[in-house]
Chain A
Amino acid sequence: MSLKMDASLIKEIEASGSVDVNRCYHCGNCTAACPLSTRANTFPRRYMKYVQMGLREKIKASPEPWLCFQCNDCSVKCPRDAKPGDVMAVLRKQALVEYGTPKFLARFVSDGSLLNSLLVAVVVIALTLLIRFPLEAVLKPVLDAFDKLVGMHPHTGTVVYAHFFPHWLLIGLFTIATGFTMFNGILGIFKFWKDMAENDSKSGVSGSKKGLVGSTVKVLTDIMVHKKFGDCGTAPSRKSSHLILVLGFIALFIVTSYAVFSLYVLKVYPFSMLHPMKILGNLGGVALLAGVIIMIMNRKNNPKEMGIAGSFDWSFLWVILGVGITGFLTQFLRFSGPASMAYANYFIHLIFVFYLLVYLPYSKFGHILYRTVALVYMEASGRNGTAITATPPVQTAAPSENIEQSAGSESRQAE
């Protein structure tokens, strides 16, 4: 079966990421420079070709875009300034749209502006607040029964966020909205898995298959220490900022889950400032803010190394920053602020959180799903062959190569 070319793809990609794929003359420097490209998974040149040739289906069914952590070694070494690293990033963004349902929402989040996406969140949250009292009236017996079951706890102080936005409403809104999009997200990754498997069997690629559970555990363990990210030839701050951010998110996720548990089961809420969970939550918040601020600074200071950042990339960073700042303000204003200011801030906080959680499969946050799946697929299908890195296997040549690389990154930093 011969593949058919789709001439419109290149225009889409170029429009989507302000890259010029036509500049690529297939020399392969990018693939040679890539520390993560292996014999079994060659990229980025292959993907530059796929885009030029308009092989949409091939790209859609490939894990490789997700194996790239965009260290941009390829873009820095590209003799034609074709920015393969950025093209790979655009392919990831396109994949979120390809596998995203509903399509209009995926397009709206990934290609639209941050402001529009946030406006929708504002409307949804405002509407939820508007229907709070009618809903409360309708649901009163249920809510009362529920309260009786779990018991209510005393709320003290002038600022009680639950008075403004009751827990049942908050949890209800986010469960329904996030549940809807996450369900679609899960469908997306299942489709993705199926496409990858079909493509591999069509092209006759096979490896020694491994168990799904084992592969997942291996990949998650690697993610916890950012193993692959570490192989990436980027400046160390990139790996560490991402790791700090991830740890912050994990801490906050644990604290949030515990808070719900504590609220309804242990009936201890809110926590005192010295409660271990409170401390963990604050540490997580600090990590989140620190990580995202380093990332923003990195992008601002090293545009060449970091690649082209479009609204897709910036939106995600600004939203995390927004979540972090308003999160801390929420805590601070609970004790000190006038209620109006505290609630206003809380409202804004919820908007950012909405963006983060509800839009997850369509925003840059989606990589948490697709990248993980791609990595698990690579592990489970046995395609993670012997890695061929940019460093030649010859022992004697290795040190000089390393020196050169580190010298290169130093000089790049100096720039």
Chain B
Amino acid sequence: MADTKTGLYICTGCGIGDDLNVDELAKNGPGENSADISKNHPFLCSREGINLIKDDITNEGVNRLCIAACSLRAVHDAFNFDGCITERVNLREQVTWTHKPQDEDTQLMAEDYVRMGMVKLNESKENTPFLPEDPMSKDILVVGGGVSGLTAALDGAKAGYDIVLVEKEARLGGYQARVGKIAEHPYKGVMENNISGLISQVKGHEKIKTYTSAQVEKTLGSPGLYKVTIRHNGAVAEHPIGAIVMAAGWKPYDPQKLDESLGYGKSKNVITNAIFEDISKDGSVTRPSDDKVVNSVAFLQCAGQRDPKHLPYCSAFCCVTALKQALQVKTQNPEARVMVVFKEMRTAGHAEDLYLTAQEAGIIFIRSQNARVHTEGSLAVEVEDELLGENLLLENLDMVVLATGVVPLTAQGDDIGSRQGAEEEEEKKKDELAIPPDVIRESNILNLDYRQGPEIPALENDFPDSHYICFPYESRRTGIYAAGCVRRPMGISQAVTDGQGAVMKAIQCIEITHRGESVHPRSGDISLPEFAMQRCTQCKRCTVECPFGAINEDEKSNPIHQPTRCRRCGICMGACPERIISFKDYSVSMIGNMIKAIEVPDEEDEKPRILVLACENDAVPALDMAGFHRLQYNAWVRVVPLRCLGSMNLVWIADSLSKGFDGILLLGCQHGDDYQCHYVRGSELSKIRLSKVSETLNRMQLESDRVRYETVSISDFSKLPAIMDEFAETLDKVGPNPFKGF
């Protein structure tokens, strides 16, 4: 950009003007990066304040704005000016609301922040949205023709998108087509299966192209640019696709694997809930051994479920299924003895009504954790009734029905990670960064052409990773959304909602991608990482660490970035040991220069400095929250917000320590199984990278206490002052950084 003109606008409202010496701030803050124009306003986000800025843009040609006011998260829309690069400096939540008014330390802090803002502003370059030369597709691929897949296809088509529906079976309907009766909202009793209505709607819709007995053979490309190859009945079809809904479904847990005490396989009359559906589909429930109409049935819930030896999770619908099946038996013969042995009865919401209906029909419910099936002689179930503390024998049973659970289709196939693991063992030794590999099973659902593996990485229990706390339907592959029982176990109505939700996410992704923007969490961001390839050493760190598989490799291990897969988190930038990856408005050198812009006073001044690298998604909002609550904390801290803690490059640690910072505090999100990282593995990766820091510290002969890593969520805001104060105390004991003044 040839002509740049910077403007610094300081808001003196919300107490900023009372607590800080704003004139000094404008003078001493910017230093060598001082702005061309500097103005104050007592109410900058008011129409008057905005007009002041707009006037400068029109009349003075200002096109770079440093707004020193409140948090980036406040009045975001007001400070959004077309054609300008805007940088926000948070003087309100992070300075005046959390520190002593009219205090030297507070003033110094504000000056540092303004200087950092000006550095960032001056180093930022303008972004342009990514719009590929190849035409982008708006079609949606739906994999799986069960309840959620059908719903996704139908709703997507109704919203005006062309749908390609792939079903591996010869007929549509998925598991639901196997089922005789259903129990659904409003849960007043057993209902007729209505899947055929949905199937005919899908079949009759002109915007839906359905392939049955079909299989996705290859998925090439990235959102908006997918090329999907479908094999069906020996023929091959190719479709350009915008986004994908994966509703591949589930299969029942293999009853052969169940504990022997449940008696499966020892008697024909010990069946599973899935087998019950098969034998009762014609309308009557009969005993498998001799086709006698059943008179006494025991349903054993949680067979191999919520059990670490089998499925550690709850399959969500088995309780309602058992109620339905028990009611079927009772309807057939109101005098039948029907017992449901459960660990916990889970009939959420209106399904409770079905439980009550079953109870009123005379079905007996027994809470027991250790049901055992006796198959010698008459079929019997022995239970310890928890409420009575008595052992009971349920004798002369015609049938025992075991509630086996949901196994997602993504759980089938070998994990490619464990195979590669052995090969890469040697490499890792050299590398020293022990990054646990993702579990990617060859489940033959999408057959992705991704460097990282052919399917979606699994998180817990082989369900495709989904950031379920904040972002349902999300997977770790941008543009691919999971729905139905492949995402997590669920009943019919939830599967319908899932299909609708996932297809909405797919549409959102398509539309956003067509504008060249990022999907969430950085929704609307058009920045993209740039690779200075001439310095690349083909170390593969970026391709390995990108949680979204956004970087492919060529045969020489050069990274090939796929822009529409990218979430713009900057984890690759943090990973790159050569520091060749940068964004136009976010780079290793830019953050490095911001850190350098912080004035570190000499040892004699007794003003230590703590660098806080904080995640923008949780830690920075938590700091804002601390401000809203007027919590006071240590004035030595200087906060640098990061897109994700995973974008933290180790060079910043080394640079700031040699500059004389007394300590460095990293504030990231919780990681592990219950991770809260918006980029799934960012905080975990930064923690792993930190393991290398001790080396740096040793080399510089510094104490390891100087670098601390803390996980915080937004609700932890009240703990933040204590964390920072306590860290400051520790540093006080350790003593000042000997590199000060060099």
User: Residues of A at under 8 Å CB distance from B?
Assistant: 1-5, 7, 10, 20, 22-26, 45-46, 49-50, 52-53, 55, 58, 80
Contact = CB atoms under 8 A, between A and B. Distances in A.
A3 B390 contact: yes
Given A25-B359, A52-B364, A5 B395 contact: yes
B388 interface: yes
Nearest to B358: A22
Contacts of B689: none
Contacts of B394: 5
The binding surface of chain A is classed by DSSP as: mixed
A332 to B, nearest CB: 54
Contact of A53 (B355, B360, B364, B382): B364
Contacts of A22: 359-362
Given A1-B391, A3-B391, A7-B337, A25 B365 contact: yes
B337 A53 contact: no
Interface string B378-402: 0000100101101111110000000
For chain B, which range describes its interface: under 10, 10 to 19, 20 to 34, or 35 or more residues?
20 to 34
Nearest to B366: A53
Contact of A49 (B337, B356, B385): B385
A85 B382 CA distance: 30
B671 interface: no
A80 B367 CA distance: 18
Interface string B344-355: 000000000001
A24 B367 CA distance: 14
Nearest to B382: A2
A2 B364 contact: no
A26 B360 contact: no
Q: Among A3, A5, A10, A45, which residue has the most Cβ atoms of chain B within 10 A?
A: A5
Contacts, number: 51
A24 B356 CA distance: 9
B390 A23 contact: no
B387 A25 contact: no
Interface in B312-367: 337, 355-356, 359-362, 364-367
Which 5 residue pairs are nearest across A and B when measured between Cβ atoms? A2-B393, A2-B391, A7-B337, A3-B392, A22-B362
B723 to A, nearest CB: 36
B355 A25 contact: yes
Contact of A46 (B356, B359, B382, B387): B387
B391 A23 contact: no
A53 B366 CA distance: 9
A49 B388 contact: yes
Given A2-B382, A45-B387, A23 B392 contact: no
A53 B359 contact: no
A66 B633 CA distance: 66
A22 B356 CA distance: 9
A394 B52 CA distance: 65
Contacts of B355: 25
28 contacts: A1-B391, A2-B382, A2-B392, A2-B393, A3-B390, A3-B391, A3-B392, A4-B395, A5-B393, A5-B394, A5-B395, A7-B337, A10-B362, A22-B359, A23-B360, A24-B359, A25-B355, A25-B365, A26-B365, A26-B387, A45-B387, A49-B387, A50-B388, A53-B364, A53-B366, A53-B388, A55-B388, A55-B392
A23 B359 contact: yes
B713 to A, nearest CB: 34
Contacts of B393: 2-5
A2 B387 CA distance: 15
A409 to B, nearest CB: 29
B390 A55 contact: yes
A50 B337 CA distance: 16
A53 B359 CA distance: 13
A1 B362 CA distance: 26
Contacts of B356: 25, 80
A22 B355 CA distance: 12
A67 to B, nearest CB: 17
Nearest to B395: A4
Given A25-B365, A55-B392, 7 more contacts: A1-B391, A2-B391, A5-B392, A22-B360, A46-B387, A52-B364, A80-B356
A269 B388 CA distance: 59
B131 to A, nearest CB: 61
Interface in B711-732: none
Contacts of B395: 4-5
A57 B365 CA distance: 20
Interface string B116-137: 0000000000000000000000
Contacts of B392: 2-5, 53, 55
Nearest to B392: A3
B382 A26 contact: no
Contacts of B391: 1-3
A271 to B, nearest CB: 57
A45 to B, nearest CB: 7
A123 B110 CA distance: 108
Contacts of A23: 359-360
Contact of B390 (A20, A52, A58): A58
A395 B61 CA distance: 75
Nearest to A28: B387
Nearest to B367: A26
A50 B364 CA distance: 11
Contacts of B337: 7
A307 B210 CA distance: 64
A45 B387 CA distance: 9
A12 to B, nearest CB: 14
A295 to B, nearest CB: 33
Contacts of B361: 22
A200 B388 CA distance: 14
A215 B445 CA distance: 76
Nearest to B393: A2
Contacts of A1: 391
Nearest to A46: B388
A55 B385 CA distance: 12
B381 to A, nearest CB: 10
A23 B355 CA distance: 11
A252 to B, nearest CB: 43
Interface string B538-565: 0000000000000000000000000000
Nearest to B380: A2
Contacts of A80: 356
A1 B387 CA distance: 17
Interface string B233-273: 00000000000000000000000000000000000000000
Contacts of B365: 25-26
B166 to A, nearest CB: 45
Contacts of A55: 388, 390, 392
Contacts of A7: 337
A49 B388 CA distance: 8
Q: Among B356, B364, B395, which residue has the most Cβ atoms of chain A within 10 A?
A: B364
Contacts of B382: 2
Nearest to B362: A22
A352 B242 CA distance: 92
A10 B385 CA distance: 18
A209 to B, nearest CB: 23
Nearest to B386: A26
A243 B394 CA distance: 45
A55 B393 CA distance: 11
A49 B359 CA distance: 13
Contacts of A26: 365, 367, 387
Nearest to B345: A25
Q: Among B382, B388, B394, which residue has the most Cβ atoms of chain A within 10 A?
A: B388
A24 B366 CA distance: 12
Nearest to B388: A49
A13 B661 CA distance: 81
Contacts of B359: 22-25
Interface in B360-377: 360-362, 364-367
A414 B318 CA distance: 46
B320 to A, nearest CB: 16
Q: Among A22, A23, A52, which residue has the most Cβ atoms of chain B within 10 A?
A: A22
